[in-house]
Amino acid sequence: MLIYQFLMIRFIFFVQIGMMKMDGLIQMNQDREGVILEYFQINIQQIEWESENGKFYNSWSEMQQILKILP
């Protein structure tokens, strides 16, 4: 009986550790997603500002450089 209780406590402990790690990974992904979306929004605002001020893009590669997001 004592071994069973020990194994159950150990199992619950490792499940809790796993849940904390998953929470950390989810939070990290949400932070990364927020950074990417914020960076993309800044690029869209820059494109809108430049198009309103008469800057037009001559090549597709120039447009791709502006739309480049984090690796």
How many residues comprise the chain? Answer: 71
Domain boundaries, position 13:
2-67
SS3 for 58?
coil
Q: What pTM did the predictor assign?
A: 0.40
Rounded Cα distance, 51 and 22, in Å: 43
Q: How many domains does the chain have?
A: 1
Encode pLDDT of 8-51 as tens digits: 888 888 888 888 888 888 888 888 887 777 777 777 777 777 66
Encode pLDDT of 4-19 as tens digits: 888 888 888 888 888 8
